[in-house]
Amino acid sequence: MTAIVWFKRDLRAHDHPALTLAAEGPVIPLYIVEPELWTQADASARQWDFIAESLSDLRQALASLGAPLVIRTGDAVDILSRLSRSHRVTRLISHEETGNLWTYARDRRVAAWARDQGLTWTELPQQGVIRRLTSRNAWARQRDAFAQAEPLQAPLLHGPVLEPGPIPTAKGLGLKPDPCPHRQTGGRAAGLLLLDSFLATRGAPYRTAMSSPVTAERACSRLSPHLAWGTLSSREVTQATNLRQAEQPQAPWPQALSSFQSRLAWRDHFIQKLEDQPDIETSCLHRPAENLARTADAARLAAWEAGQTGIPFLDACMRYLRATGWLNFRMRAMVVSCASYHLWLDWRVTGAPLARAFTDYEPGIHWPQVQMQSGTTGINTPRIYNPVKQGQEQDPTGAFTRRWLPELAEVPLPYLQEPWRWEGAGRLLGRRYPEPLVDPSSAARQAKEAIFSLRKTAPRAEIIEIIEKHASRADRRFVNDRAPRRAPPKPQGQLSFDL
């Protein structure tokens, strides 16, 4: 009656429903390193390095519970077949995964194999995302019930003794070199330290400090990679925040903690969108948006990725992201907005390199948000961020911009975000720093005209269908047709990555 517990985006032993269920009998804790997965366009070495550290931490935790982690490299069906035959496995237990289209197809293959073998595959929820959801009407109540349930303690384990297997390196997986000198460290221990410090001290200014990259790096919890790869569960983070709220700390803590709880809920809300419609990764949610005819210009894309567009605050954010693997949400929204509107790049072309840059890449948040910030959902108000204005407001002293763009050191602060207006621009632009690829004001104006022209002709029935399937309560207030019945809701921001 041996069971395999298949670890995926749940690299922990604590609050692990699949592991708790399997602990009733002999168990093989298994992680499968799938080389094909790591050839996908959204995969990177920085992500794998975080996972490898987390696997090492998990292996120690499971060994202390009685059953060390087994790691195998290869195709999931092949590995599961071999282990099932050699150890008389009768059950496969895992958590439901809302991943990319590749993992979706792989899970369908595994399900077919399990049926053919007469083997039971039990998939359990590990967060407030509901598989085969028929309506959003009761979703929030069900999500909250899961989040407020008591987290599970790590169970004692027993099972057959297997060769543990090595944890491959990024180079061993054939991943391209990916320098990320300030990447966050993987593993549950690192996640718990972040959670403790956020709830004890760092989180006090969270609500007001999350918008600027200058202050967000410390004031945000920085838990997003640990939630994305599952070294911590969202439920235990919710419960820890509940305990801090119960202490009734003085201002500004109540507002900060309440805001943090809201963003934990919004995290599940967006993952639910991809769970309900997996092709959000490749197709515009609002189908007429395919007619916007955005470009895949390789030179523009390369300049945007490298932080060489000639628009300082945009470039500073992209360089910061390359060096750290993280960016606060407002700036994530801005870099997507600038790519999709100002540079008029197709969101699929920019979405993949952004996914690779994020250590905390979570498909269920990434793809709906990339579409939302690109104006292709049909149910959210297009928000075209002004990168000059954002730089002036979010980096008022210029410290962030100058740190990541040292070539602008001599530019006076009043011209830092618009160096083309500076009288000394001639000896800088086109030499040490590029000329701007576009004029931010005129590019934004042209993009706005294209987006709103599309929306005026959008079939009302199609928008209602999207709302019924994906919309939050706020989204439902706005039916985007020729004459909206009321003002559209403000765009939802500051989501998972400000956690």
CA neighbor of 292 nearest in space, from 365, 222, 238, 349: 349
Farthest CA pair distance, the chain: 78
Length of the chain: 499
Q: Phi first, then psi: give them for residue 389, nearest 5 degrees.
A: -65, -40
**Both 26 and 106 in a single domain?**
yes
Pairing mode of beta strands 120-124, 89-95: parallel
pLDDT tens sequence across 37-49? 999 999 999 999 9
At residue 492, does pLDDT exceed 60? no
Tell me the average pLDDT across 252-266. Answer: 97
At residue 170, does pLDDT exceed 90? yes
User: Which pLDDT does position 137 carry in this prediction?
Assistant: 86
At residue 475, does pLDDT exceed 60? no
What's the mean per-residue pLDDT of the chain? 92
User: Which pLDDT does position 54 carry in this prediction?
Assistant: 98
At residue 481, does pLDDT exceed 50? no
User: Which pLDDT does position 473 carry in this prediction?
Assistant: 52
Angle (CA) 482 486 487, round 5°: 95
Question: What is the CATH classification number for the domain harbouring 196?
Answer: 1.25.40.80
* Residue 80: both structure tokens together: 């599961």
At residue 315, does pLDDT exceed 90? yes
User: Which pLDDT does position 463 carry in this prediction?
Assistant: 53
**Both 219 and 285 in a single domain?**
no
Sign of the CA dihedral running 443, 376, 266, 17: negative
Q: C-alpha 206: how far from its chain's center?
A: 19
User: Which pLDDT does position 480 carry in this prediction?
Assistant: 36
- Could you tell me if residue 370 is inside a domain? yes
What are the angstrom distances between the C-alpha of 386 and each of 207, 291, 330, 417, 466? 22, 24, 12, 11, 28
Among 119-123, 171-175, 388-392, 484-488, which stretch is predicted with the lowest mean pLDDT? Answer: 484-488
pLDDT band (50, 70, 90) for residue 488: very low
Q: Report, in angstroms and rounded to the nearest whole number, the Rg of the chain calculated over CA atoms.
A: 23
**Both 198 and 283 in a single domain?**
no
User: Which pLDDT does position 469 carry in this prediction?
Assistant: 56
Give dist(CA 29, CA 223) in Å, integer. 25
Boundary of a domain, candidates 231, 261, 276: 276
At residue 22, does pLDDT exceed 80? yes
More confident residue, 65 or 482: 65
**Both 416 and 300 in a single domain?**
yes
- Could you tell me if residue 42 is inside a domain? yes
Boundary of a domain, candidates 276, 297, 325: 276
**Both 383 and 293 in a single domain?**
yes
**Cβ 332 vs Cβ 367: under 8 Å:** no
- Give the 3-state DSSP-derived string for the chain, with helices as H, strands as E and coil as C: CEEEEEECCCCCCCCCHHHHHHCCCCEEEEEEECCCHHHCCCCCHHHHHHHHHHHHHHHHHHHHHCCCCEEEECCHHHHHHHHHHHHCEEEEEEECCCCCHHHHHHHHHHHHHHHHHCCEEEEECCCCCCCCCCCCCCHHHHHHHHHHCCCCCCCCCCCCCCCCCCCCCCCCCCCCCCCCCCCCCCCHHHHHHHHHHHHHHHCCCHHHHCCCHHHHHHHCCCCHHHHHCCCCCHHHHHHHHHHHHHCCCCCCHHHHHHHHHHHHHHHHHHHHHHHHCHHHHCCCCCHHHHHHCCECCHHHHHHHHHCCCCCHHHHHHHHHHHHHCCCCHHHHHHHHHHHHHHCCECHHHHHHHHHHHCCCCCHHHHHHHHHHCCCCCCCCCCCCCCHHHHHHHHCCCCHHHHHHCHHHCCCCHHHCCCHHHCCCHHHCECCCECCCCCCHHHHHHHHHHHHHHHHHCCCHHHHHHHHHHHCCCCHHHCCCCCCCCCCCCCCCCCCHHHC
Tell me the average pLDDT across 302-330. Answer: 98
pTM (2 d.p.): 0.93
pLDDT tens sequence across 180-224? 999 999 999 999 999 999 999 999 999 999 999 999 999 999 999
**Both 312 and 262 in a single domain?**
no
- Could you tell me if residue 171 is inside a domain? no
Domain that holds residue 28: 2-126
* Residue 64: both structure tokens together: 């202390």
pLDDT band (50, 70, 90) for residue 483: very low
User: Which pLDDT does position 80 carry in this prediction?
Assistant: 98
Tell me the average pLDDT across 63-67. Answer: 97
- Could you tell me if residue 141 is inside a domain? no
**Both 20 and 88 in a single domain?**
yes
Question: What is the CATH classification number for the domain harbouring 73?
Answer: 3.40.50.620
pLDDT band (50, 70, 90) for residue 156: very high
* Residue 24: both structure tokens together: 């009733």
User: Which pLDDT does position 478 carry in this prediction?
Assistant: 36
Annotated binding site: 206, 260
- Could you tell me if residue 175 is inside a domain? no
Give dist(CA 180, CA 357) in Å, integer. 9
CA neighbor of 491 nearest in space, from 347, 341, 380, 327: 380
pLDDT band (50, 70, 90) for residue 489: very low
- Could you tell me if residue 409 is inside a domain? yes
At residue 304, does pLDDT exceed 90? yes
**Both 296 and 230 in a single domain?**
no
**Both 194 and 208 in a single domain?**
yes
Counting residues of the chain whose pLDDT is more than 90, the rounded percentage is 87
- Could you tell me if residue 89 is inside a domain? yes
The total domain count for the chain is 3
**Both 39 and 93 in a single domain?**
yes
Boundary of a domain, candidates 80, 107, 126: 126
At residue 470, does pLDDT exceed 90? no
At residue 151, does pLDDT exceed 80? yes
**Both 272 and 418 in a single domain?**
no
User: Which pLDDT does position 378 carry in this prediction?
Assistant: 83
**Both 375 and 405 in a single domain?**
yes
- Could you tell me if residue 156 is inside a domain? no
User: Which pLDDT does position 82 carry in this prediction?
Assistant: 97
Annotated binding site for FAD: 206, 260
Question: What is the CATH classification number for the domain harbouring 383?
Answer: 1.10.579.10
Give dist(CA 300, CA 357) in Å, integer. 17
